Amino acid sequence: MAIEISPTPVLTGESAKRFTRIMFANRRKKVGPTPTPHLGELTSRIMQFQEEQRRKRGI
């Protein structure tokens, strides 16, 4: 059975959470317990993005 993959993945709700979890898990494996310097910035950007999406959808 073929799995269809959309050309442009949309980050909404669950997929955004899954995406961030996978990203952070991968980064942890690579760099060890110490987070990379830009990790905090990346996290805040993602949080901002999710907040904007929530506001647009009116949740």
Whole-model pTM over 0.85: no
At 18 the pLDDT is 72
Q: What is the mean pLDDT of each run of 10 residues along the chain (59 residues)?
A: 56 66 62 59 82 80
Confirm whether 1 is domain-assigned. no
Q: Are 9 and 15 in contact (CB under 8 A)?
A: yes
Confirm whether 47 is domain-assigned. yes
Number of separate domains in the chain: 1
Helices (H) and strands (E) counted in the chain, each on its own, are: 2, 0
At 7 the pLDDT is 56
At 23 the pLDDT is 66
Q: Which of 53, 43, 55 shows the shortest CA–CA distance to 19?
A: 43
Q: Where in the sequence is the domain holding 20, given as residue range(s)?
A: 13-57
Q: Which of 5, 42, 44 shows the shortest CA–CA distance to 26?
A: 42
At 9 the pLDDT is 54
Confirm whether 44 is domain-assigned. yes
Q: What would the two tokens of residue 35 be?
A: 């987070």
Confirm whether 2 is domain-assigned. no
Confirm whether 4 is domain-assigned. no
At 42 the pLDDT is 76
